[in-house]
Structure 1
Amino acid sequence: MSAKPSRLPTSGVYSEGSIRVLKGLEPVRQRPGMYTRTDNPLHITQEVLDNAADEALAGYGKKIKVTLHIDGSVSVEDDGRGIPFGMHPEEKAPVIELVFTRLHAGGKFDKGQGGAYSFSGGLHGVGVSVTNALTTRLEATSHREGQLARLVFSGGAVIEPLRTRPLASGERRQGTTVRLWPDAQYFESCALPMGPLCQLLRSKAVLMPGLCVSLLNEKTRDTQTWQYQGGLRDYLAQNLSADPVIPLFEGAAFADGSHESFAEGEGAAWCLAFTEDGPPIRESYVNLIPTSAGGTHESGLRDGLFNAVKSFIELHSLLPKGVKLLPEDMFARASYVLSAKVLDPQFQGQIKERLNSRDAVRLVSGFVRPALELWLNQHVEYGKKLAELAIKAAQTRQKAGQKVEKRKGSGVAVLPGKLTDCESRDTAHNEVFLVEGDSAGGSAKMGRDKESQAILPLRGKVLNTWEVERDRLFANNEIHDISVAIGVDPHGPDDRPDLTGLRYGKVCILSDADVDGAHIQVLLLTLFFRHFPQLIATGHIYVARPPLFRVDVPARGKKPAAKMYALDAGELAAILDKCAKEGLAREKCQISRFKGLGEMNAEQLWETTLNPDTRRLLPVQLGALDFSATEGLITKLMGKGEAAARRELMELHGDAVEIDI
């Protein structure tokens, strides 16, 4: 039976001519939100500022000046080397023009020999070309090698071609000036927020002692200047709202040329303070880029701090009986400024607010832990005060967990025999993984953190419960075990169930990264949406995303051999592209596809899927549709009498699906 023509839209013909190829900077102008923040032009200004800071980081600049002009434009001036303006050997265009007009052009792609920067603020293939695309006018001036070069753009296109002239006797000898006029059609407001701008400029001065950063506002004629000779310590001490319990712990460590795992220069500088009250100050940076959402370098700091203090406590036998320390007990009262240097940082999102590089956990932790252990053992009294603070936090947390336990009463059902429970009773910290199959469950049991992670293996496909009556649910053993394990009874959307019996703060669906795994995931999501909706509403349901591919990358230069994981074909292509840029032929990278979780050993499963620092865990919540609209859509997908509706959906959207055979 063919689809009825009357159901098809009469306007719009889908043919070869329907496909539009966006060229140059068109993609940025079409979908600016994919590349930058559109509430104001702070991020596109930051892209220019980051380039100036990268010159200072590379040791070629000592001043950065930002000017807010009366006409609404912004200029950033540095005394670095100046952007090269000679002809590119392959592209046959001035290099300065390519930097501002190509999404994949810059001096940061080639690390080591041939590249302009050893360390820089990340690689997304965007940068100042996005700034150029979203401005009505951009003027770029470069002072370099005794000459001044200037060109002007509008909306990303050159409107005044490159002109050069010799430098006059009174002009500065080197550096770059970029002046930009943000295009109002792309931003909710064209005004730069002064608070975040000042914080951004101040952070550059904090992270590079001796760098002078200034801001001139032509309207108010105010000038602010930041310069910190004392670096991180001065900055953190000035901003603490309470006196620290022990003196600030400051340190810095970087890999040398003989380091086994990391390239020369990779490492971190940090300053830690511990207070009993007041809001903690927590700021982190990667290659001078502020990472407001944290990331793996912060996880490394937490890991190094926890292990160093735990080691000190064990060495001096300070832990009271029955108290178990967790990383958050150490971290709860910690304030810090962390500045990491990573050779090839991988960020989440185009605005680089979170670092995703897995190696950064090991990098920062490996330098922080020994330095802090040495300091604590050299200052035993300070170490004991810090241990006391952490132990007090652990005792408070455990008492809170015990109160919740008592409220459950004595009528708790017997837990399922196949549940491998965790040791902790702290609901906020505990997690249970609903794992597909016994073999995957076995790897998960061996690879998990037994303190806080529980495993419940599920045998076979879970029942489609969309049209199952609530009082018949427990006839199915798997659903009975899920309900008893999590400690919450089935309920409806308008019910107010008793969630005090909830045994885990996170209920995580963990299935294979293939079609069968997706089917099991859908069946479990159907169960929770239909019969445990309050768990979704209160943010307790998650989906774990195991990788589909593993790439064994051989050693390249100073970087050792590594195992990389990709969630899908897109991430696999990105990994291979990155290797190719590093001069590694694709055929030298060995690609393995996981047929299922059962193929992973315990260590791989921990590293990719269970470790809170490196895993991908997606919270389940309502999307663009409200509850009733979502309910109607799932009825079409999961209802027994909805075959016609499902066929209509497939006819409408079937061409958008990528089939994995």
Structure 2
Amino acid sequence: MPDTPSNATPTPGAYAESSIRVLKGLEPVRQRPGMYTRTDNPLHVVQEVLDNAADEALAGYGKRIRLTLHRDGSVSVEDEGRGIPHGLHPEEQAPVLELVFTRLHAGGKFDKGSGGAYSFSGGLHGVGVSVSNALASRLEVSSYRAGQVARMVFADGAVLEPLSLQAAPAGARKQGTTVRLWPDPKYFDTAALPLAELQHLLRSKAVLLPGLSVSLIQEASGETLHWQYQGGLRDYLLQSLPAEPLIPLFEGSGYADAGHESFAEGEGAAWAVAFTEEGATLRESYVNLIPTSAGGTHDSGLRDGLYQAVKGFIELHALLPKGVRLLPEDVYARASYVLSAKVLDPQFQGQIKERLNSRDALRLVGSVLRPALELWLNQHVAHGKKLAELVIRAAQNRQKAAQKVEKRKGSGVAVLPGKLTDCESRELARNELFLVEGDSAGGSAKMGRDKECQAVLPLRGKVLNTWEVERERLYANTEIHDIAVAIGVDPHGLADQADLSGLRYGKVCILADADVDGAHIQVLLLTLFLRHFPRLVEAGHVYVARPPLYRVDVPARGKKPAAKAYALDEGELEAILDKCAKDGLARDKCSISRFKGLGEMNAEQLWDTTLNPDTRRLLPVQLGALDWLQTEARIGQLMGKGEAAARRALMERAGDAVAVDF
């Protein structure tokens, strides 16, 4: 019987060459919008347009941005920038205006430095407004440039009206871009924009660019809001603080010059910091005008700079009482701040850019803030002593609370497991327990950890699937017994009044290999916590550590020394190699190593990539779109012994969304 030709139409259920589908253009975004943007509402797709306008102002072009909420549900953004170029791209032979809105990874912000169109910008991935276009039922763009106005219209991400050019009408602005888009409701939980978040976003642009005029026009109500801050960060922080500052505001800025050894010209930060004795704290950070609501390495740099400067002042003036030890949180606890960092090539976590991951940003911000605060404190000694009193009082209160916890635990009868390498501190908020896969990885973790506040419990092999194990029989399993005794909390159900007073660690972190086996161990441990320790999850005490899968050794380049970079997955690996290529280093000159497991890492590598609070990736375990009952039903479907048919149906329906690691 002859073989079936490769181009024959496959029978239903068959797997043939024609089964492979290639998503083109904006189709990936429209099929998986959650990978590219927030889908609870359209704010982020509007923000991408707004960020482009702000990047023009940051580059020194234009002093006005206007956003209009139209009656028909559309949103328009107008700026006075240079206008998007509309001629033909020299390589693609298509209008640049069309490429910007219809091609992923097409933009003017990849080339950084003096040779690029933008020295500093929030744009990094090159998918911004193309995602906005992909998820809009209609988008209109007009670019005013060189006395002409270029106009294009898109529908469902595709060109509806091709590029048209005409002379700019009399009285029209000389340059700038206007984008009007109609977000498609089918991609979002709600089509309504959160007005409070939008206003905060617009106000922040005015705060970070003193003198920039930002307006919000609401056609339905006829209301117009306007923001302009000549005093920048200082004015904004003083207006927003819920309580009077203990000492005058500490504000300043610092940027690298052309001859700086470690950072590019213009990189640095501006800040305003206030200390209050009571009330809520205000903490906002930005990178190249992009709000980073989840913080990141620039926040860590500010925290480290504050701590080192205040600690140095206290030691210089011999203000610290005997027996009191200062920690960073003692200084940071009552600090409110607004931080605006400028980073040449920012690396964000995810497409919506909520957290900055650039490791150099920690050193960048700390190196400019610390000397400035040290100088300020020693020029204002009376204010410095007031701040020192506040910080020392916080340290004393923390130590008293830790002593109370220690006494309460001293009468316990449970014997800690012998495999547990405990930490020295007894402060719940600081202590962390890492549940580590295997003795080899446990050894590296023990050597690389912070002995003061990080404990390690190695686990042997894969933990028991406890989804259908009766609670009374859990302690029969040695590994689960050791976990329960180490964390100091008994197994319980969601309906139980669980006693968390014996909890010994503020963070219980699952640390497994970055491969498929490691993912399986993660799932088994998550099943244990969700089923038998739900109150720990509900209270936010359970985390998953994300170690890297690849190490890239980058050789020395001129004055730049050799360096190591780490990638969580293939996507980050490609980004690192692309960055090396842009820096003039051939990809094949970089040495790529894949970690077979955590045990291959030495202590220093494990600390730098996975244990160090300032540089690690630590994900909190929390409920997503499903509530507790729905989550239990879903986990039961995945982990229950009698749910094989349901699992098979799930894999048939959604298996193509999973990338298999062989």
- TM-score scaled to structure 1, two decimals? 0.88
Deviation per CA, 1:528-558: give whole Å up to 9, x if none: 5565554445443333221121112245688
Shift of residue 313, structure 1, vs aligned partner: 1.9
Deviations 1:25-75 (A, max 9, x none): 223333333333344433222212111111111112222222334444332
CA distance in 2, matches of 1:285, 1:520: 36
Aligned in 2, Cα 1:368/1:446: closer, same or farther, shift over 3 Å? farther
More deviation, 32-41/447-456: 32-41
AA matched with 1:411? G
Match of 2:108 in 1: 107
Q: CA deviation at 1:490?
A: 4.5
SS of structure 2 residue aligned to 1:116: coil
Q: Name the structure 1 match of 2:274.
A: 273
Q: 1:535 to 1:138 in 2, by over 3 A?
A: closer
Distance 2:445 2:264 in 1: 33
Partner of 1:224: 225
Matches within 5 A, 1:580-599: 580-599=581-600
Structure 2 partner of 1:636? 641
Residue range with higher mean Cα deviation, 458-467 or 487-496: 458-467
Are 1:383 and 2:388 counterparts?
A: no
Counterpart-to-counterpart distance in 1, 2:153 and 2:645: 58
In structure 2, do the counterparts of structure 1 residues 171 and 603 end up closer, same or farther at CA, with 3 Å as the change threshold? same
Cα distance in 2 for residues equivalent to 1:168 and 1:556: 52
Q: SS at the partner of 1:298?
A: helix
Q: Matched residues in 2 for 1:191 and 1:644: separation?
A: 40
Distance (whole Å) between structure 1 residues aligned to residue 228 and residue 464 of structure 2: 64
1:83 maps to 84
State how far apart, in whole Å, the 1-side matches of 2:130 and 2:634 are: 41
Partners of 1:33 and 1:658 in 2: how far apart?
16
Q: Give the letter aligned to residue 106 of structure 2.
A: A
- Residue type at the aligned position of 2:350: G
What SS class does the counterpart of residue 641 from structure 2 fall into? helix
CA-CA distance at 1:322 after TM superposition: 3.1
What amino acid is the match of 1:499? L
Amino acid in the other structure paired with 2:324:
V
For the residue of structure 2 that corresponds to 1:508, the secondary structure is strand
Q: Distance in 1 between matches of 2:156 and 2:523?
A: 45
8 Å contact 1:263–1:343 — kept in the other structure?
yes
Q: Which residue of 2 aligns with 1:316?
A: 317
Structure-2 separation of matches of 1:645 and 1:70: 46
C-alpha distance 160-451 of structure 1, shift in aligned 2 (>3 A) = same
Q: 2:286·2:292 contact (CA, 8 Å) conserved in 1?
A: yes
Q: Which residue of 2 aligns with 1:306?
A: 307
> Could you say what secondary structure the match of 1:408 adopts?
helix
Distance 2:658 2:119 in 1: 41
- SS at structure 2 position matched to 1:501: coil
2:154 is matched with 153
Measured after TM superposition, the shift of residue 328 of structure 1 is 2.2
Task: Give the equivalent residue in structure 2 for 1:208.
Answer: 209
* Equivalent pair of 1:262/1:559 in contact (CA under 8 Å): no
1:511 aligns with 2:507: no
Structure 1 residues 99, 405: CA separation in 2 closer, same or farther (over 3 Å shift)? Answer: same
SS, match of residue 230 in structure 1: coil
Q: Distance in 2 between matches of 1:654 and 1:181?
A: 33
Cα distance in 2, alignment partners of residues 525 and 172 from structure 1: 58
SS of the equivalent of 2:163 reads strand
Report the more deviating stretch, 526-535 or 223-232.
526-535
Aligned mates of 1:553, 1:656 — CA distance in 2? 33
- 1:599-626 Cα deviation digits (max 9, x unpaired): 3232211111111222122334567554
- The AA in structure 2 aligned to 1:180 is L
Gap regions ≥5 residues in structure 2: 1-10
Deviation larger for 436-445 or 523-532 = 523-532
CA distance in 1, matches of 2:473, 2:164: 80
CA contact (8 A) 2:140 2:179 kept: yes
Partner SS for 1:129: helix
C-alpha separation between the residues in 1 aligned to 2:22 and 2:117?
Answer: 32
Distance in 2, matches of 1:643 and 1:73, equals 47
Instruction: Say how many residue pairs are matched.
Output: 648
Distance 2:140 2:288 in 1: 26
1:422/1:249 CA distance change after superposition, 3 Å? same
Kindly state the Cα deviation for residue 92 of structure 1 after the two structures are TM-superposed: 0.6
Say if 2:146 is the partner of 1:141. Answer: no
1:627 corresponds in structure 2 to: 632
**Aligned amino acid, residue 630 of structure 1:** I
Quick one: which amino acid aligns to residue 37 of structure 2?
A: T
SS of 1:500's partner is coil
State the match for 2:358 in structure 1. Answer: 357
Shift in alpha-carbon separation, 1:492–1:227, aligned structure 2, 3 A:
closer
Distance 1:606 1:73, change over 3 A: same
**Does the aligned pair in 2 maintain the 1:433–1:509 contact within 8 Å?**
yes
> How many Å apart are 1:205 and its aligned residue?
1.3
Per the alignment, residue 329 of structure 2 pairs with 328
Question: Contact 2:109–2:126 at 8 Å: present in 1 too?
Answer: no
Q: Which amino acid aligns with 2:74?
A: S
Relative to 1, partners in 2 of residues 1:146 and 1:329: Cα closer, same or farther, differing over 3 Å? same
Q: Alpha carbons of 1:439 and 1:379: their partners in 2 closer, same or farther (altered >3 Å)? A: farther
Cα distance in structure 1, aligned partners of 2:477 and 2:461: 12
- Whether the 8 Å contact between 1:52 and 1:80 is mirrored in structure 2 is yes
Q: Assess, with a 3 A threshold, how the Cα gap between structure 1 residues 351 and 544 changes in structure 2: closer, same or farther.
A: closer
Deviation at 1:106, TM superposition (A): 0.9
One-letter identity of the residue aligned with 2:592:
I
Q: Which residue of 2 aligns with 1:250?
A: 251
Q: Does the CA-based 8 Å contact 2:153-2:161 persist in structure 1?
A: yes
Q: Which residue is equivalent to 2:6?
A: none
**For 1:506 and 1:416, how far apart are their aligned partners in 2?**
18
The aligned residue for residue 41 of structure 1 is: 42
Instruction: Give, in whole Å, the separation in 2 of the partners of 1:13 and 1:91.
Output: 38
Question: What pairs up with 1:229-628 in 2 under 5 angstroms?
Answer: 229-408=230-409, 410-458=411-459, 478-491=479-492, 495-515=496-516, 517-518=518-519, 520-521=521-522, 524-525=525-526, 528=529, 532=533, 534-554=535-555, 561-620=562-621, 625-627=630-632
Alpha carbons of structure 1 residues 59 and 505: separation in structure 2 relative to 1, 3 Å: same
Query: In the superposition, relative to structure 1, how do residues 47 and 515 fare at CA in structure 2: closer, same or farther (>3 Å)?
Result: closer
Distance 1:470 1:340, change over 3 A: same
Indicate if the aligned counterparts of 1:636 and 1:646 stay in contact, CA closer than 8 A. Answer: no
Query: 2: CA distance between counterparts of 1:650 and 1:85?
Result: 46
Answer whether contact 1:41 1:191 (CA < 8 A) is retained: yes
Q: CA deviation at 1:285?
A: 0.9
Structure 1 residue 437, shift from structure 2 partner: 4.0
Please provide the CA RMSD for this pair.
3.3
Partner Cα separation in structure 2 for residue 431 and residue 631 of structure 1: 29
* CA shift in 2, pair 1:658/1:240, >3 Å: closer
Query: Whole-Å Cα distance in 2 between the matches of residues 251 and 89 of structure 1?
Result: 44
Are the counterparts in 2 of residues 65 and 76 from structure 1 also a CA contact under 8 Å? yes
1:593 Cα deviation after fit: 2.1
CA contact (8 A) 2:294 2:354 kept: yes
Amino acid at match of 1:599: E
Equivalent residue, structure 2, for 1:22 = 23
Over 3 Å counting, the alpha-carbon distance change for 1:195 and 1:493 in structure 2 is closer
Displacement of 1:632 after TM fit?
Answer: 6.0
User: Match of 2:284, SS?
Assistant: strand
Provide the residue aligned with 1:3 in structure 2: none
Counterpart residue number, 1:4: none
The whole-number CA distance in structure 1 between the counterparts of 2:637 and 2:66 is 57
Deviations along 1:255-305, one digit per CA (max 9) or x if unpaired, are 122222222211111100111122222211111111222222112211211
TM-score for the superposition, normalised by structure 2 = 0.88
Q: Relative to 1, partners in 2 of residues 1:207 and 1:478: Cα closer, same or farther, differing over 3 Å?
A: same
SS at match of 1:499: coil
